[in-house]
A = this chain, B = another copy of it.
Amino acid sequence: MEDNKIQEVKSPSLITTPSGGWGASVHVFAPATVANVVCGFDVLGFAVNEPGDEVIMRMTGKPGITISKITGDDGRLPLDPAKNTVSVSVQHYLQSVGRADVGLDIELHKKMPIGSGLGSSSASTVAGLFAIKTLLGDEADPAKLLPFAMKGEEMACGQGHADNVAPALLGGFVLIRSYEPLDVVRLPHPAGLWCAIVFPDVDVPTREARQIIRKNIQMKDAVTQWGNIAGLVSGLFMQDIDLIGRSMKDVLVEPVRSMLIPDFYKMREMAMGMGAVSFGISGSGPSVFAFTKDEETARLITQKLQQHLTGLKIGSNTYVSTINDAGPRVLG
């Protein structure tokens, strides 16, 4: 990357009316993401190939944004464009590039569970922003969309975090080095890393999951944590999967948040016993994830953990994926 430092969006390299003219439409996918990555609370995240959300965006002749359809949300998301994170982010973008005259209709197809800890709102928001960027022929670096995506997060979670939207937008592993000014660094990763995700269908709202985290901590625990994040980042650069595994320990957030997840430590014991490189909470939970060195181990882990949750009468969704290096993509 030539410029990792994203502080302010001044003049995206817009903007011509697309070749399709008014009425043109685009269908975009954006990926789910795993934030925190065990030892990188609030500063690390990565994208996966599945699940993800889809947006179909159509240009209309009439200024303003409408949301004509939302599927897969069990009626939980608002159709009001002033209250939906997708339309709010897109609106901020349009204002910033001086195109408040543009009229848009949005269909949002949720292909992943809401409140899962997999960056559900981020995936939708990024899909929407990538759709409008594509429709307007904006050639600017996708990273320039980040501040708009964070506006959506602010609405969804009460705080403008970037550890889901940044990897959803940029793909791969992303470090948010600093929020003020915003400074985002894309990190490499070993090619052979697989990710097993299990979403136990219990309710852990993001806001509440944040509130239970301790505001005051011991320096010695913080030292342990930053030794580990430094080790994880080193392992990513060195393609050293064992170092990645040794470093993925969390003495600060996991001990508290794991209480909200059914049989968290039992699931970890099972996953590690089956050969996982590491195991932890995705974002604020309740989804959990494991890194593995191959697809077979990842599939075995999701299968066995799902069986275990079924035994507890808890439904679950499972996903097996490599890391998604591309971020959002146009489906049609």
The A210-226 residues at the B interface (CB cut-off 8 A) are 213-220, 222-226
Interface size on A, residues (CB 8 A): 43
**Chain B hits for A215, CB < 8 A:** 218-220
The A186-239 residues at the B interface (CB cut-off 8 A) are 187, 213-220, 222-231, 233-234, 237-238
Asked if A243 is at the interface of the complex by the 8 Å CB criterion, the answer is yes
Residues of chain A whose beta carbon lies under 8 Å from any beta carbon of chain B:
4-5, 39-44, 175-178, 183, 185, 187, 213-220, 222-231, 233-234, 237-238, 240, 242-243, 246-247, 252
Copies in the complex: 2
Q: State the CA gap A226–B159 with chains docked (Å).
A: 19
Q: State the CA gap A224–B41 with chains docked (Å).
A: 10
Using CB atoms, name the residue of chain B closest to A39. Answer: B226
Using CB atoms, name the residue of chain B closest to A217. Answer: B219
Q: Are B230 and A40 in contact (CB under 8 A)?
A: yes
27 CB contacts below 8 A, A to B, read: A5-B242, A5-B246, A40-B226, A40-B230, A41-B223, A43-B226, A43-B227, A175-B227, A175-B231, A176-B227, A177-B228, A177-B234, A178-B231, A178-B246, A185-B231, A213-B219, A214-B219, A215-B219, A217-B218, A217-B219, A219-B252, A222-B222, A222-B225, A226-B229, A230-B233, A234-B237, A237-B237
**Chain B hits for A233, CB < 8 A:** 230, 233-234, 237
Q: Are A246 and B177 in contact (CB under 8 A)?
A: yes
Q: Are B213 and A247 in contact (CB under 8 A)?
A: no
Among candidates B218, B228, B243, residue contacting A4 with C-beta atoms closer than 8 Å = B243
A29, chain B: closest CB distance, angstroms? 28
Q: State the CA gap A175–B132 with chains docked (Å).
A: 44
**Chain B hits for A231, CB < 8 A:** 175, 177-178, 183, 185
Q: State the CA gap A293–B216 with chains docked (Å).
A: 38
Q: State the CA gap A220–B213 with chains docked (Å).
A: 11
Using CB atoms, name the residue of chain B closest to A221. Answer: B222
Q: State the CA gap A243–B178 with chains docked (Å).
A: 11
Q: State the CA gap A41–B39 with chains docked (Å).
A: 17
**Chain B hits for A4, CB < 8 A:** 240, 243
The answer to whether residues A43 and B223 also contact, given A185-B231, A246-B183 and a CB cut-off of 8 A, is yes
Q: Are B228 and A230 in contact (CB under 8 A)?
A: no
Q: Are A230 and B5 in contact (CB under 8 A)?
A: no
Q: State the CA gap A39–B223 with chains docked (Å).
A: 10
